[in-house]
Amino acid sequence: MNPKTREGAACKTAQAHADEKPEGMRYKKDKPMNLADVFPPNGHVQHLYCNQCNDYLDLSFTDFSEDVSGICISIDGLPVLRCRKCSATFLLDDSRVAIIYLHEQATKARKSVVKVTHKNTDRDFGFTKVPFVYDSDDYKYIPGLYRPFNEGFLTPVFFNKEVLIKYDASPVYRVSFASKTYGEIRQGDAFSMPFGLNRNDKLIMWLGDIASLPETEQYYLRSENVPSDHSIGSEFYDAQIECKFTDPSPEDNLFKDRSTFLEACFGRFGEKLAQLDKEVLDLAVTVQRPLVDSARTRRDVADVLNKIYIESFNNKALGKALDVLGEDAKSLGSLKRLQKLLEKSSPMSNISEMMSPFYVLYDLRVAFSHLGSEKGSQESLQYVQKRLALGESAGLLDIYDRLIVELSAAFKKITAVVGDGTKYWTKRR
Ligand SMILES: [Zn+2]
The CATH class for the domain spanning 6-117 reads alpha beta
Whole-number pLDDT of residue 21 = 54
Q: What is the mean pLDDT of residues 271-278?
A: 88
Q: Ligand 1 mean position to 127 CA, how many Å?
A: 35
Work out the percent of the chain whose per-residue pLDDT is above 90.
63
pTM exceeding 0.95: no
Q: Ligand 1 mean position to 418 CA, how many Å?
A: 45
pLDDT per position as a tens digit, 191-228: 789 999 999 999 999 999 999 988 988 998 999 999 99
Whole-angstrom distance, CA of residue 214 vs CA of residue 212: 7
Q: Ligand 1 mean position to 285 CA, how many Å?
A: 23
Q: Ligand 1 mean position to 56 CA, how many Å?
A: 8
**DSSP character at residue 40:** P
Angle (nearest 5°) at CA 247 between 244 and 249? 135
Q: Ligand 1 mean position to 233 CA, how many Å?
A: 13
Which stretches does DSSP call E strand in 151-226?
156-160, 174-177, 182-187, 191-197, 202-206, 225-226
Q: In Å, how far from its chain's centre is CA 355?
A: 29
Work out the percent of the chain whose per-residue pLDDT is above 70.
90
Q: Which of 107, 138, 106 is nearest to 122 (CA)?
A: 138
Q: Give the range with max mean pLDDT: 22-36, 243-257, 348-362.
A: 348-362
Q: Which amino acid is at 152?
A: G
Q: Ligand 1 mean position to 354 CA, how many Å?
A: 44
The answer to whether the beta carbons of residues 188 and 98 sit under 8 Å apart is no
Q: What radius of gyration do the chain's Cα atoms show?
A: 27
pLDDT per position as a tens digit, 38-85: 988 888 888 999 989 999 999 999 999 999 999 999 999 999 999 999
What residue segments make up the domains of the chain, in order of their start? 6-117, 122-246, 248-423
Torsion angle, CA of 382/383/388/390, rounded to 10 degrees? 20
Which H or E element spans position 91?
A: strand 89-91
Q: Ligand 1 mean position to 60 CA, how many Å?
A: 14
Q: Which of 195, 233, 250, 258 is nearest to 425 (CA)?
A: 195
Q: How confident is the model at residue 167 (pLDDT cuts 50, 70, 90)?
A: confident
pLDDT of 23 > 90? The answer is no
Alpha carbon of 364 to those of 368, 373, 395: distances in Å? 6, 14, 12
Q: Ligand 1 mean position to 59 CA, how many Å?
A: 13
Q: Ligand 1 mean position to 207 CA, how many Å?
A: 29
Which H or E element spans position 341?
A: helix 334-345
Q: Ligand 1 mean position to 52 CA, how many Å?
A: 5
The answer to whether the beta carbons of residues 236 and 154 sit under 8 Å apart is no
Phi/psi at 160 (5° precision): -65, 140
Q: Ligand 1 mean position to 89 CA, how many Å?
A: 8
Q: Ligand 1 mean position to 237 CA, how many Å?
A: 18
Whole-angstrom distance, CA of residue 339 vs CA of residue 347: 11
**DSSP character at residue 179:** S
Phi/psi at 165 (5° precision): -65, -40
Q: Ligand 1 mean position to 83 CA, how many Å?
A: 5
Q: Ligand 1 mean position to 82 CA, how many Å?
A: 8
Residues 246, 250, 253, 259: is their CA dihedral positive or negative?
A: negative
